[in-house]
Protein backbone atom coordinates (compact mmCIF):
# COMPACT_ATOMS: atom_id res chain seq x y z
CA UNK A 1 0.00 0.00 0.00
CA UNK A 2 1.30 3.47 -0.90
CA UNK A 3 1.42 6.16 1.77
CA UNK A 4 -0.32 9.40 0.78
CA UNK A 5 2.36 11.44 2.61
CA UNK A 6 5.53 9.79 1.27
CA UNK A 7 6.35 10.80 -2.28
CA UNK A 8 8.80 8.51 -4.04
CA UNK A 9 11.44 9.92 -6.37
CA UNK A 10 10.00 10.08 -9.88
CA UNK A 11 11.58 7.75 -12.43
CA UNK A 12 11.53 9.93 -15.56
CA UNK A 13 13.16 13.34 -15.83
CA UNK A 14 10.55 16.11 -16.02
CA UNK A 15 12.99 18.78 -17.25
CA UNK A 16 16.01 18.35 -19.53
CA UNK A 17 17.18 21.69 -20.93
CA UNK A 18 19.69 24.53 -20.55
CA UNK A 19 22.31 22.22 -19.01
CA UNK A 20 20.12 20.82 -16.22
CA UNK A 21 17.89 17.83 -15.61
CA UNK A 22 15.07 17.89 -13.07
CA UNK A 23 12.59 15.51 -11.51
CA UNK A 24 9.36 17.08 -10.29
CA UNK A 25 7.94 15.60 -7.09
CA UNK A 26 4.15 15.81 -7.04
CA UNK A 27 2.52 15.93 -3.63
CA UNK A 28 -0.79 14.52 -4.85
CA UNK A 29 -2.71 17.69 -3.97
CA UNK A 30 -1.55 17.71 -0.33
CA UNK A 31 0.16 21.08 -0.77
CA UNK A 32 -0.38 23.81 -3.32
CA UNK A 33 1.97 26.66 -2.32
CA UNK A 34 5.33 24.97 -2.95
CA UNK A 35 6.90 22.70 -5.54
CA UNK A 36 9.90 20.40 -5.18
CA UNK A 37 12.43 19.21 -7.74
CA UNK A 38 15.61 17.17 -7.80
CA UNK A 39 18.11 19.02 -10.03
CA UNK A 40 21.32 17.58 -11.50
CA UNK A 41 23.88 19.30 -13.68
CA UNK A 42 27.35 18.39 -14.90
CA UNK A 43 28.48 21.96 -15.66
CA UNK A 44 25.72 24.33 -14.56
CA UNK A 45 22.86 26.29 -16.03
CA UNK A 46 23.68 27.51 -19.55
CA UNK A 47 21.58 30.68 -19.23
CA UNK A 48 20.87 33.46 -16.75
CA UNK A 49 17.25 33.66 -15.71
CA UNK A 50 14.95 35.93 -13.77
CA UNK A 51 12.08 34.19 -12.00
CA UNK A 52 9.38 36.83 -11.57
CA UNK A 53 6.99 35.03 -9.19
CA UNK A 54 8.75 32.24 -7.28
CA UNK A 55 11.46 32.26 -4.65
CA UNK A 56 13.94 29.40 -5.30
CA UNK A 57 15.62 27.59 -2.41
CA UNK A 58 18.35 25.12 -3.42
CA UNK A 59 19.81 22.60 -0.97
CA UNK A 60 23.12 21.20 -2.24
CA UNK A 61 23.01 17.41 -1.90
CA UNK A 62 26.31 16.68 -3.69
CA UNK A 63 29.04 18.53 -5.52
CA UNK A 64 30.31 22.08 -5.56
CA UNK A 65 29.94 25.14 -7.72
CA UNK A 66 29.10 28.80 -7.84
CA UNK A 67 25.85 30.72 -7.93
CA UNK A 68 25.82 34.21 -9.41
CA UNK A 69 22.80 36.04 -7.97
CA UNK A 70 22.18 39.67 -8.91
CA UNK A 71 25.82 39.96 -10.02
CA UNK A 72 27.29 38.51 -6.81
CA UNK A 73 29.24 35.24 -7.19
CA UNK A 74 29.21 32.86 -4.23
CA UNK A 75 30.69 29.38 -3.85
CA UNK A 76 28.50 26.53 -2.64
CA UNK A 77 29.02 22.88 -1.76
CA UNK A 78 27.32 19.90 -0.15
CA UNK A 79 25.16 20.91 2.80
CA UNK A 80 24.68 24.55 1.76
CA UNK A 81 21.31 26.21 1.28
CA UNK A 82 21.19 28.79 -1.53
CA UNK A 83 18.30 31.27 -1.51
CA UNK A 84 17.35 33.08 -4.74
CA UNK A 85 14.62 35.68 -4.09
CA UNK A 86 12.18 36.24 -6.94
CA UNK A 87 13.03 39.02 -9.33
CA UNK A 88 16.84 38.64 -9.17
CA UNK A 89 18.87 37.43 -12.18
CA UNK A 90 20.81 34.24 -11.43
CA UNK A 91 22.75 31.36 -12.87
CA UNK A 92 24.96 28.62 -11.46
CA UNK A 93 28.00 26.62 -12.51
CA UNK A 94 29.56 23.39 -11.35
CA UNK A 95 28.77 19.74 -10.95
CA UNK A 96 25.78 19.82 -8.62
CA UNK A 97 22.97 17.63 -7.35
CA UNK A 98 20.40 19.81 -5.59
CA UNK A 99 16.94 19.71 -4.07
CA UNK A 100 14.93 22.76 -5.16
CA UNK A 101 11.88 24.20 -3.43
CA UNK A 102 9.87 26.80 -5.38
CA UNK A 103 7.33 28.99 -3.64
CA UNK A 104 4.86 29.52 -5.20
CA UNK A 105 5.18 26.66 -7.70
CA UNK A 106 7.30 27.38 -10.78
CA UNK A 107 5.72 28.03 -14.14
CA UNK A 108 7.83 28.52 -17.30
CA UNK A 109 5.71 31.56 -18.22
CA UNK A 110 7.03 33.34 -15.09
CA UNK A 111 10.65 33.05 -16.23
CA UNK A 112 12.71 35.44 -18.36
CA UNK A 113 15.92 34.19 -19.96
CA UNK A 114 18.70 36.77 -20.29
Residue 6 lies in a domain: no
Report the pLDDT value the prediction gives residue 2, as an integer from 0 to 100: 60
In a domain, 65, yes or no: yes
Residue 112 placed within a domain: no
Per-residue pLDDT of the chain (114 residues; tens, 9 = 90+): 566 788 888 889 999 999 999 999 887 678 889 999 999 999 999 999 999 999 999 999 999 999 999 999 999 999 999 999 999 999 999 999 999 999 999 888 999 999
User: What pLDDT shows up at residue 26?
Assistant: 82
The pLDDT assigned to 3 comes to 66
- Does some domain include residue 10? no
Residue 44 lies inside a defined structural domain of this protein = yes
**Interatomic CA distance for residues 40 and 45, integer angstroms:** 10
Residues in the chain: 114
Assess contact for 110 and 51: CB atoms under 8 A.
yes
* Nearest in space to 40 (alpha carbons), one of 10, 7, 4, 70: 10
59: which strand partners? 81, 99
Model pTM score:
0.88
Between CA 56 and CA 107 the distance in angstroms is 12
The verdict on residue 79 lying in a domain is: yes
Whether 22 is in a domain gets the answer: yes
Number of domains in the chain: 1
> Which of 57, 58, 90 has the alpha carbon at shortest distance from 71?
90
28: number of Cβ within 10 Å: 10
- Domain extent, residue 101, equals 15-107
Rg (CA), the chain: 14
What CATH number should be reported for the domain holding residue 96? 2.60.120.10
Amino acid sequence: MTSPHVVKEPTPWSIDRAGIRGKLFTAQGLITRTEHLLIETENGHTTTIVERESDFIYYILEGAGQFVIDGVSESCSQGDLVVVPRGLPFTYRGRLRMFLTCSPPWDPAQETTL
